[in-house]
């Protein structure tokens, strides 16, 4: 029986495999709807965890956790992330770097003086509601609303778009994060 060696691209979850002539290798890196929704829920859960740790142990502990969340959920190690968070102002509206994202979530970085820490606002619930999900092989985009409920029961709703890709280990990574407050007509 002949053995074939098949080299996969860097996008694949592994770098090489062996197959026999009768057993083809099938590589399917397609993202599923279930995975995209799970990634959204994990993001919400992490946001609530950062806030809870902040309330219990302070800003330094929240910053450490936020750094771990960013490193595991976002694609900054793959390059720039298209991150436009909700409450940012020019000239720092867009946050293509990890430092910009970390400051947005927990504040405390003098390079981003307007940041007060979105994750530190007393959130108790975070509920994504999708309007549409577009899946194209190993990338996906979700778009809809996210409802944030604070400790006083006030709900803030933002329009949110997330883009996901797979990293070399096969994990979903956020490569696009756009949020904006809902339009409020006068």
Query: CB atoms < 10 A from the CB of 166, how many?
Result: 22
Contacts for 142-147: CB closer than 8 Å, 24+ residues apart: 142/36, 142/37, 142/40, 145/182, 146/44, 146/179
Pair 57, 185: CB distance under 8 Å: no
Specify the pTM: 0.83
**Successive 10-residue mean pLDDT values, the chain, 186 residues:** 34 44 71 95 98 97 98 95 90 93 95 94 97 94 97 96 93 96 85
In order of 47, 49, 74, 143, the CA distances from 68 in angstroms are 12, 12, 10, 25
100 torsion bin: left (phi>0), alpha (psi -120 to 50), beta (else): alpha
Q: What pLDDT does residue 12 have?
A: 38
Q: What pLDDT does residue 101 have?
A: 96
| The two three-digit tokens of residue 2, written as one number | 């002949």
Q: What residue has token string 């994750």?
A: 119
Nearest to 87 by CA among 174, 179, 177, 156: 179
Span 20-45, pLDDT tens digits: 567 777 666 789 999 999 999 999 99
Pair 120, 62: CB distance under 8 Å: yes
């Amino acid at each position: 029986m002949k053995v074939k060696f098949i080299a996969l691209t860097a996008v694949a979850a592994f770098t090489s495999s062996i197959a026999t002539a009768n057993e083809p290798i099938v590589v399917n890196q397609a993202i599923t709807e279930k995975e995209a929704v799970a990634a959204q829920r994990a993001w919400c859960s992490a946001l609530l965890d950062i806030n809870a740790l902040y309330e219990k142990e302070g800003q330094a502990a929240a910053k450490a956790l936020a750094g771990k969340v960013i490193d595991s959920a976002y694609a900054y190690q793959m390059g720039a992330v298209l991150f436009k968070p909700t409450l940012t102002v020019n000239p720092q509206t867009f946050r293509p770097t990890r430092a910009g994202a970390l400051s947005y979530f927990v504040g405390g970085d003098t390079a981003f003086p307007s940041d007060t820490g979105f994750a530190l606002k007393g959130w108790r619930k975070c509920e994504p509601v999708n309007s549409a999900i577009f899946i194209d092989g190993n990338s996906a985009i979700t778009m809809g609303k996210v409802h944030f409920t604070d400790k006083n029961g006030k709900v803030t709703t933002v329009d949110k778009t997330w883009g996901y890709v797979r990293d070399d280990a096969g994990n979903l990574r956020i490569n696009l994060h756009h949020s904006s407050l809902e339009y409020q007509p006068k």
